[in-house]
Structure 1
Amino acid sequence: MPSPTSQLRRWPTCAQFAHSLDEEDTMKKRILAAVAGLSALTLSACGGGGGAGTSSGDGEPVIDGTLKVAINEDPGNLFRHVNTSATLSYVYPWAYESPVYFDDSGEPQGWLAEKWEATPTSLSFTIREGITCEDGSELTAETVANNYRWILDPENASSFKGLVVPADATIDDDAAARTVTVTTKSPNSFLLPQMGIQPIYCQGALDDPTSVESATNGTGMYSLKKAVPGDHYTFERRDDYSWGPEGAPTGETPGVPKEVDISIVDNPSTRANQLLSGELNIAAVQGPDEERVASTLEPFYQDDLITGGFAYSQAKDAPTADEDVRIALTEALDLDALMQVQTAGQGKRAERLAVLNPTICTYDAATPNLPSNDLADAESRLDAAGWKKGSDGKRSKDGQPLTLDFGWYTRWPETSSTAELMAEQWSKIGVGVKHHGTDAGAFLEKINSPGAAEDFDVIWLASNYSVPNVLATFVSGPVPPKGSNYAGISNPDFDARAEEASQVTGKEACGSWEKAEAAMYQSADYVPFAVRPDITFGQGVKNSLGQGWTNVNGITLVE
């Protein structure tokens, strides 16, 4: 769930859809959208493609076996259109499918759609025939279109309006041609990866969303047999399933599980023990237990997540509104050391905004363009900007001490340590820090409130998505309450390149996005510095469709 381009009212950028929210959109929706980005730090299961090898088991297929999966928390409401939880991404794909999926090379492949066409302002799908819903009804182009209409309907208050379905979109369908057509006023380079992997619910679910809060009604290979919130969810195979992607198993393929049992196991050590004892087939393990599991089992799926980054406030009276001050502060930091702390020695430096699979753009704009560690130049820049050291070694200007209000959240213990190390490194050039570390909920509420950029000089920002324009909404455009540009960042060069990118689709836009991000990093507007692998381990399973939790139809049991 999911899970931060230009100033929307001025530039029709490819991320405009993520900012052009209707006035009736509430604070709750913006906070949920932010939670989608931040919760991706917990579980990666947001897309398809990428990662480790597709098989963690070879041998003969297990006939009518039970696949056992563990997740770390309950997914909540199973109706995806209102629930942005990343944990739900481990659950809904067993029962629901999307128009397309993305393979390991990041290329779109057909699922519910047999054909598609995308431009910067339009997207069309031709829906396959012969697809049957769990309730026995036929999936039609109208039902697919109605999913997008449901999200757009302001009465439904879907958090995916503006984030997945552009707020200015018009949705049409043609029953005879079996087509769904989306048109937008504002250009968007990535309509296909954003809308194409959104799960499609059957008409009965759209008519009565409460009916699928703890049940399912989709077109997937499995239907929910039993739901015990907080404990487990059991799915049962639909033996008549036969409409998966090319090369995918059917309900009669040897090795396809008869049941899928998803248990909630919040303790990573317990998940590790259950994997190593053979009680589980698939589970993610983080922290100190990861190494001992990795010594025995191969990764079944691996994603990269940005877990460390921050933005400098550009509010009018903030010291960090001065580009030279931002550059100096960044030069005072050893970003490599910060990365090691934030990832517990398991990660690498962040290279761009969007690292989550399926990655469409794969450039490195951050490491060559962010200011490098240079204490002498940092001191010189601060001196020139009027922030002079006093006899106590601390800097001030016109009687105002250079003390940074630093807002960050305490969800991960590494973040607290990283924030303390940043303060220690800034102290070496005479800069003080006042920490505002809170839990994730309080942090999100604060930064989504008007005036966040005035309250904080530095704001922790580490969100994840697969395409840059969605994440760019956190570093450009309107500030809360009309947008999500918490730090009030304004960079005309970034805006112009983003607008340029919006004129083309897919990978063609990546070159312009690389230049846009380079401009942002050179001026030290936003500093992403840490990426950590998020690994799901598996045994006795293989996936013919490649990686990604949207591709679970390809999973078979082997022994």
Structure 2
Amino acid sequence: MFLRSARTHRRRARRARQGTALVAGAATLALLAACSGGGDGGGGSSTGASGDSATLVAYTGQSGDYQVNFNPFSPSRIGALGTIYEQLFFINKAAETEPVPLLGTEYAWNDDGTELQVTLREGVTWSDGEPFTADDVVFTFDLLASTPAINNVGYAGTATATDDTHVTFTFEAPAFVQGPDVLSGVPIVPEHLWADVDPTADVVENPVGTGAYVLDDFKPQAFTYAANPEYWGGEPAVKTIRFLSLSGNTAGADGIANGTIDWQTGPVPDIQNVAENFPGYDTLTAAQNQMVLATCSSVELGCSGPQTDPAVRHALYLAMDRTQLNQLAFEETASEISPTFALTSTQEGTISADVEEPVAPETADPEGAAEVLEAAGWAKGSDGIYAKDGERLTVTVEVVTGWTDYITAVQTIAQQAKAAGIDVQTAQSSWNEWTERRTQGNFQLAIDSLWQGPAPDPYYLYTYFFSSATGAPVGEAAGNNYARYANADVDAALDALKSMPLDDAEARQPHFDAIQAAVVEDMPYIPILTGGTTSEWNVGKFTGWPTEDDMYAFPAVWSAFDAAEIFKRLEPAEG
């Protein structure tokens, strides 16, 4: 199991009703699908844009034309995770369940956590007809190990094929915490096609995978998946999935209102009453993604601007009126956030007792913000805005055009910050431009969300976003740690946690204490609120969606591995 037993370390995720979709999550990483397709969505019938009961029309929040990219390791990919490229197992982060076998069927750790054995499914073929074998798994993990830029899960093992259906992962030290990522976080690619692929640069226009779908058509305004008739699990009932590229959240909400979109994860008016307002539709919410103002934080790695001063970051944190933000931007559907980034719903027990305020304040504290700034040498100018060494305290927040909830949030934060003597500007751009700036470090702040890992444990978020191993100098592509944060104490604590079973809470807590002390002090990601991820979907056209009683996958169309499982479960409704 992940540690000694999958049941001993995985806690049930809260089935929250609060929250609104974080469309911005479509642009973050590693495990989120930033894909969508285009077109006008067709007619306005409640059966969806195509009028075909076996075609599902999805919208992930994409605004602007697509640039073809089905490289599953690329931060600017537009699709393929889960649907085309499968992982070994699916692990549901929204509820306590056993891992679902995909390309793997069984797994087991040795007693000291240095060896993980995986049995592979027999009779699987790639969509080009070539057989899938253990060599493909070994090739994929060797690719991660030899290419740090794509190794966002921090894999540090050696994979060996003992025969066509068995792989052994060997680690130099106990690596229980790597289990969930190795088993569920890595898309397996075909060695016979990828031997000459540059995983950091090539866009892979014609993806070949083992998944339930294949790429059917791509246009800058749309792309379409078709059911894979040779899929090892049987051809799915949903025969076509079409991803739309629209102008943003408003167009997505219009699509739900007009019946031209079957599934989106994004805000709609009066989101608490979708079933009443949009006949044939329903919603489901889960609260996990933590909204932040991410900063380019490291002067040493080339970041520049007032946000590189931790005092400025703390002042912005204190300047926020989160109650007002929730009302104006998120329809009162977001929830509290901890500056430690441990979820207060399922990970509260890991929050350090040394953290004076384990939950971010709900109301603004402009006096506290002023005290922090003035202690760091900032002085308020005649225009009410602070300055230091001739530099006015002006910072720019990057946001994607069309992300109306985030745009409203940034505009609201700007008003609140002004009262604290901070000038916050907004820069809107396409998703592609936003992603490029974020990845290369050409930004001051960006509104985004941090995502949870494959198991309900804060270790994964910490290693994704705070490990120096996933950062990079400005001008070079960073991994998940695009804030370019580097702290030796955090790196040392993460290294120590790697060797510990996830269920050894007493031994692990001192290392969480060290991480949280640094994270709260340095604040490279400024906490906003925990966003409830809400999907609206067409229950009149398809059956089999997750429910509160059976949340078999995280309900977000942009959470690629989860969406792939949902697509496979759905069936056209009768009649």
| TM bucket, shorter chain | 0.5 to 0.7
**Residue aligning to 1:557:** 572
Query: Would the alpha carbon gap of residues 39 and 184 (structure 1) be closer, same or farther in structure 2, given more than 3 Å must change?
Result: farther
Query: Would the alpha carbon gap of residues 75 and 302 (structure 1) be closer, same or farther in structure 2, given more than 3 Å must change?
Result: farther
Could you list the runs of 5+ residues in structure 2 that have no partner in the other structure?
1-22, 36-51, 454-458, 554-561
1:145 and 2:138 correspond:
yes
Q: Write the distance in 2 (CA, Å) between the matches of 1:212 and 1:443.
A: 18
| SS of equivalent to 1:134 | coil
Query: Would the alpha carbon gap of residues 194 and 39 (structure 1) be closer, same or farther in structure 2, given more than 3 Å must change?
Result: farther
**Residue aligning to 1:529:** 528
TM superposition shift of 1:177: 6.2
1:298 corresponds to which of 261, 275, 282: 282
Q: Write the distance in 1 (CA, Å) between the matches of 2:488 and 2:435.
A: 27
- Asked if 2 retains the 8 angstrom alpha-carbon contact of 1:360 and 1:506, the reply is no
Q: Write the distance in 2 (CA, Å) between the matches of 1:534 and 1:419.
A: 20
TM superposition shift of 1:368: 1.9
Query: Would the alpha carbon gap of residues 473 and 217 (structure 1) be closer, same or farther in structure 2, given more than 3 Å must change?
Result: closer
Q: Write the distance in 2 (CA, Å) between the matches of 1:258 and 1:422.
A: 42
**Residue aligning to 2:473:** 480
Q: Write the distance in 1 (CA, Å) between the matches of 2:407 and 2:224.
A: 35
Q: Write the distance in 2 (CA, Å) between the matches of 1:225 and 1:326.
A: 46
1:437-467 deviations in whole A, cap 9, x for unaligned? 35365555556557x6xx95xx235243332
TM superposition shift of 1:309: 2.4
Q: Write the distance in 1 (CA, Å) between the matches of 2:509 and 2:125.
A: 41
Query: Would the alpha carbon gap of residues 164 and 334 (structure 1) be closer, same or farther in structure 2, given more than 3 Å must change?
Result: same
Query: Would the alpha carbon gap of residues 323 and 82 (structure 1) be closer, same or farther in structure 2, given more than 3 Å must change?
Result: closer
- Asked if 2 retains the 8 angstrom alpha-carbon contact of 1:171 and 1:183, the reply is no
Q: Write the distance in 1 (CA, Å) between the matches of 2:298 and 2:81.
A: 40
TM superposition shift of 1:542: 0.4
TM superposition shift of 1:190: 3.5
Could you list the runs of 5+ residues in structure 1 that have no partner in the other structure?
1-34, 48-63, 245-249
**Residue aligning to 2:14:** none
Amino acid of the structure 2 residue aligned with 1:286: P
**Residue aligning to 1:286:** 267
1:294-329 deviations in whole A, cap 9, x for unaligned? 433222675754444244846489777776665455
Q: Write the distance in 2 (CA, Å) between the matches of 1:284 and 1:37.
A: 10
1:51-98 deviations in whole A, cap 9, x for unaligned? xxxxxxxxxxxxx9624232355775464435445641xx55344432
Q: TM-score, normalised by structure 1?
A: 0.67
TM superposition shift of 1:408: 2.9
Q: Write the distance in 1 (CA, Å) between the matches of 2:101 and 2:169.
A: 16
Amino acid of the structure 2 residue aligned with 1:141: A
Amino acid of the structure 2 residue aligned with 1:546: Y
2:419 corresponds to which of 414, 428, 443: 428
Amino acid of the structure 1 residue aligned with 2:319: A
| SS of equivalent to 1:192 | helix
Q: Write the distance in 1 (CA, Å) between the matches of 2:203 and 2:419.
A: 56
1:519 and 2:506 correspond:
no
The 5 Å alignment of 1:101-112 reads 101-103=90-92, 104-107=94-97, 108-112=99-103
**Residue aligning to 1:501:** 497
Q: Write the distance in 2 (CA, Å) between the matches of 1:78 and 1:396.
A: 43
TM superposition shift of 1:332: 3.3
The 5 Å alignment of 1:215-230 reads 215=206, 217-224=208-215, 230=221
Q: Write the distance in 1 (CA, Å) between the matches of 2:381 and 2:81.
A: 59
**Residue aligning to 2:152:** 163
Q: Write the distance in 1 (CA, Å) between the matches of 2:191 and 2:521.
A: 49
Q: Write the distance in 2 (CA, Å) between the matches of 1:149 and 1:67.
A: 37
Q: Write the distance in 2 (CA, Å) between the matches of 1:415 and 1:504.
A: 38
- Asked if 2 retains the 8 angstrom alpha-carbon contact of 1:343 and 1:532, the reply is no
- Asked if 2 retains the 8 angstrom alpha-carbon contact of 1:370 and 1:521, the reply is no
Amino acid of the structure 2 residue aligned with 1:148: F
Q: Write the distance in 1 (CA, Å) between the matches of 2:307 and 2:218.
A: 50
Query: Would the alpha carbon gap of residues 390 and 339 (structure 1) be closer, same or farther in structure 2, given more than 3 Å must change?
Result: same
Query: Would the alpha carbon gap of residues 106 and 388 (structure 1) be closer, same or farther in structure 2, given more than 3 Å must change?
Result: same
1:541 and 2:543 correspond:
yes
Query: Would the alpha carbon gap of residues 424 and 282 (structure 1) be closer, same or farther in structure 2, given more than 3 Å must change?
Result: closer
TM superposition shift of 1:289: 8.2
Q: Write the distance in 1 (CA, Å) between the matches of 2:504 and 2:334.
A: 29
The 5 Å alignment of 1:321-400 reads 326-343=313-330, 345-351=332-338, 368-370=358-360, 373-389=364-380, 395=386, 400=390
- Asked if 1 retains the 8 angstrom alpha-carbon contact of 2:306 and 2:395, the reply is no
1:11-53 deviations in whole A, cap 9, x for unaligned? xxxxxxxxxxxxxxxxxxxxxxxx9976149995489xxxxxx
TM superposition shift of 1:537: 1.3
**Residue aligning to 2:446:** 460
Q: Write the distance in 1 (CA, Å) between the matches of 2:384 and 2:191.
A: 67
| SS of equivalent to 1:462 | strand
Amino acid of the structure 2 residue aligned with 1:198: V
1:100 and 2:89 correspond:
yes
1:270-290 deviations in whole A, cap 9, x for unaligned? 665665676665444534485
**Residue aligning to 2:59:** 71
Structure 1, 526-535 or 270-279: larger mean CA deviation: 270-279
Q: Write the distance in 2 (CA, Å) between the matches of 1:195 and 1:376.
A: 48
Q: Write the distance in 2 (CA, Å) between the matches of 1:272 and 1:343.
A: 14
Q: Write the distance in 2 (CA, Å) between the matches of 1:146 and 1:549.
A: 26
1:132 corresponds to which of 125, 129, 145: 125
RMSD after superposition: 4.9
- Asked if 2 retains the 8 angstrom alpha-carbon contact of 1:303 and 1:533, the reply is yes
| SS of equivalent to 1:132 | coil
- Asked if 2 retains the 8 angstrom alpha-carbon contact of 1:233 and 1:263, the reply is yes
Q: Write the distance in 2 (CA, Å) between the matches of 1:144 and 1:198.
A: 10
Q: State how many pairs are aligned.
A: 482
TM superposition shift of 1:528: 1.6
Query: Would the alpha carbon gap of residues 388 and 508 (structure 1) be closer, same or farther in structure 2, given more than 3 Å must change?
Result: same
Amino acid of the structure 1 residue aligned with 2:267: Q
| SS of equivalent to 2:72 | helix
- Asked if 1 retains the 8 angstrom alpha-carbon contact of 2:127 and 2:214, the reply is yes
- Asked if 1 retains the 8 angstrom alpha-carbon contact of 2:76 and 2:432, the reply is no
- Asked if 2 retains the 8 angstrom alpha-carbon contact of 1:282 and 1:538, the reply is yes
